[in-house]
Structure formats: C-alpha cells, structure tokens
Amino acid sequence: MEAIITDKTTRGYVDKFDASYTIVIDENGYPIESELNFNGKGRAYIVLSVKAEVYSKSTYQVLNDRLLQITNQYGGNFKSSLWPDSSYEGGHEMQITQNSEMLSNVD
C-alpha cells in the first residue's frame, strides 16, 4: 500500500486494500507484459467514505537493445459519499516504423 498511497496520514484512513502486480517475462528475462490492479475503501471521520478501483496493463518490446513500452491501457472507478461517482479509462500505443534510416540513428 505504501507504494501507491505515499501519504502516511491518508493510509490511516484506509480500511481495506488489495493489490496485485504481475510481470510476464520472455525466455531472455525481458518483460513482455505487466499488470497492476488495486482496490480499496476507507473512511475519514463520519461523513466521508471512499471506494476506488484502478488498473494498468502494459506490453513491452525490445528494439536495438532498448526496452520499449508498446501499449498501455488504464482506468479506474471512484465512489464517494460526498461527490458523484466517477470513472476513467485511456491508453496509448507506440507504432514502430521499419525505416532503416530511423533505426540506424537510434544509437
């Protein structure tokens, strides 16, 4: 929990917290996929309760001895007793061009 909620005071309001982080590696020991999931709930004083779920999933590729993050998808849901429920999701994808001039200038 300390890696995700860095503020010690805030961690004191957390009643329940579950997280997982998974890395899939290839035969050479390079990561090819990672996934982070966590959810938790807590209460501050009597009036504020919060529930949160967050995920992030990435894929990787090695090109010219460099590890590149090729895709990343992420999202989350938040519920609170004081504010409207909210959710978000997004992501990005890197396109690798097989242009020999570009690849030779990577070093």
pLDDT in tens, 7-20: 777 777 788 989 99
Q: Which amino acid is residue 101, in one-letter code? A: E
Mean pLDDT value across the chain: 86
State pTM to two decimals: 0.72
Distances (CA, A) of 56 to 3, 18, 21, 53, 66: 15, 15, 10, 11, 22
pLDDT in tens, 63-96: 888 999 999 999 999 998 888 999 999 999 988 8
The DSSP bridge partners found for residue 90 are 74
Task: Provide mean pLDDT across the span 51-58.
Answer: 95
Distance of CA 45 to the CA centre of its chain: 29
Phi and psi angles of residue 100, each rounded to the nearest 5 degrees, phi first: -60, -35
Amino acid 105: pLDDT: 47
Q: Give the integer Cα–Cα distance in Å for 19 and 56.
A: 12
